[in-house]
Amino acid sequence: METANRTTGKLKSHETAILPARVQSYPSNGIHGRIVHAIGFEIVSGAFAPGERLPGDSELIERFQASRTAIREAMKVLATKGLIDARQRAGTSVRARNDWDLLDADVLSWHSPETIGEKLAGDLVELRELIEPIAARLAASRASEEDIERMEKAWLQMESGVDDLEQYYAGDVAFHLSVLAACHNQIMQRLDGIIGTVLSLSFALQKDTLEGPHEGLDAHYLIIDRIRARDRRGAERAMRAVIGRAKDEIGRREDWPRQRPSSG
């Protein structure tokens, strides 16, 4: 696990964030984005504890070689995500974990297998159980041929990546998002960013306990088969089985980090 450089309050590398840029809700290009993602990652990773004050504007200006305006705009973004509380004369401090906006794709993406707690991991699986089986059920009624082709393309990426987990998981994320898109529910489709983030975190947690991707291939193809057959119940059951397998693999993980107590 990366450690913080307490002289500057900065982690050695923000590049350890495990999620693809496409599921980020705030662009990481430009000086504002770099500041937002660097400090957000550090807060979520535990470099700054709840209640701890962040470095002042002058220190951040020097660190990022940015203007005071850029620093303050970045702080506003982090405040909207529930991570910090900025008060005049009192400075900027980290808010309690219970205040963090966990429906924000960035806040979730700043977690990693080294920092996510067992409780949050379980909550992520429960979210998948609530949404994805219903999406598969709806997709069995509504999916077009193009939708099914996208599922198959993602499945083929998984198949070609059985010896390359990074490629396998990229295909897996694409597969589940293609099922979500195929339900043709406007509200559920808007959840693609958060679901993509949840999936990426879930897969990262499974890496050390994954029994073998070959078994997962068959289980995922059954989802396609049931959707193509317009079998609503079968598609829902198949998706629940896939998520159940992921739940079991995450449940075998033993090296859960200790969470710092939340303050406030």
CATH number at residue 198: 1.20.120.530
- pTM, whole model, 2 decimals? 0.77
How many CA atoms does the CB half-sphere of 67 hold within 13 Å? 5
Q: Are 100 and 12 part of one and the same domain?
A: yes
Output the pLDDT for position 258: 61
Quickly state the pLDDT bin for 164 (edges 50, 70, 90). confident
User: Is residue 257 one of the residues assigned to a domain?
Assistant: no
Give the count of domains, the chain.
2
Output the pLDDT for position 175: 97
Quickly state the pLDDT bin for 110 (edges 50, 70, 90). very high
Average pLDDT of the segment spanning 132-152: 98
Lowest average pLDDT, out of 3-7, 48-52, 122-126, 157-161, goes to 3-7
Output the pLDDT for position 24: 52
Higher pLDDT, 142 or 162: 142
Output the pLDDT for position 12: 37
Q: Are 69 and 145 part of one and the same domain?
A: no
Q: Is the pLDDT of residue 190 over 80?
A: yes
Output the pLDDT for position 199: 87
Q: Are 49 and 165 part of one and the same domain?
A: no
The whole domain housing 62 covers 4-105
Torsion of the alpha carbons at 96, 101, 102 and 104, rounded to the nearest 10: -150
Alpha-carbon distance of 73 to 170, in angstroms, equals 33
Q: Is the pLDDT of residue 76 over 60?
A: yes
Output the pLDDT for position 14: 40
Cβ within 8 Å of residue 258, ≥6 positions away: none
How many CA atoms does the CB half-sphere of 14 hold within 13 Å? 19
Alpha-carbon distance of 123 to 51, in angstroms, equals 24
Q: Are 88 and 141 part of one and the same domain?
A: no
Q: Are 153 and 211 part of one and the same domain?
A: yes
Q: Is the pLDDT of residue 235 over 60?
A: yes
Q: Are 244 and 123 part of one and the same domain?
A: yes
Higher pLDDT, 66 or 22: 66
Q: Is the pLDDT of residue 212 over 70?
A: no
Cβ atoms within 10 Å, residue 194: 19
Output the pLDDT for position 72: 92
Q: Are 245 and 172 in contact (CB under 8 A)?
A: no
CA-based nearest residue to 78, from 109, 48, 106: 106
Output the pLDDT for position 3: 36
CA-based nearest residue to 101, from 197, 15, 185, 206: 197
User: What letters, b where the CB count within 10 A reaches 16 and e where it falls short, cover 66-88?
Assistant: beeebbeebbebbeebbbbbeee
Q: Is the pLDDT of residue 6 over 70?
A: no
Q: Is the pLDDT of residue 100 over 60?
A: yes
User: Is residue 26 one of the residues assigned to a domain?
Assistant: yes
Q: Among residues of the chain, what percentage have pLDDT more than 70?
A: 85
Cβ within 8 Å of residue 188, ≥6 positions away: 131, 134, 135, 138, 180
CA-based nearest residue to 33, from 111, 106, 105, 139: 106
Q: Are 98 and 120 part of one and the same domain?
A: no
Q: Are 123 and 108 in contact (CB under 8 A)?
A: no
User: Is residue 260 one of the residues assigned to a domain?
Assistant: no
User: Is residue 263 one of the residues assigned to a domain?
Assistant: no
Q: Are 86 and 210 part of one and the same domain?
A: no
Q: What is the largest CA-CA distance in the chain?
A: 64
What does DSSP assign to residue 32? Answer: H
Q: Are 132 and 241 part of one and the same domain?
A: yes
Lowest average pLDDT, out of 81-85, 229-233, 247-251, goes to 247-251
| Structure token pair of residue 5 | 């450089």
Average pLDDT of the segment spanning 18-30: 59
CATH number of 39's domain: 1.10.10.10
Cβ within 8 Å of residue 238, ≥6 positions away: 136, 219, 222, 223, 225, 226
CA distances from 192 to 63, 80, 123 (A): 34, 21, 17
| 91-94 and 4-5 strand pairing | unpaired
Q: Are 148 and 30 part of one and the same domain?
A: no
Q: Are 44 and 143 part of one and the same domain?
A: no
Output the pLDDT for position 4: 37
| Structure token pair of residue 169 | 């998981």
Output the pLDDT for position 198: 87
Q: Are 86 and 140 part of one and the same domain?
A: no
Arithmetic mean of pLDDT over the chain:
85
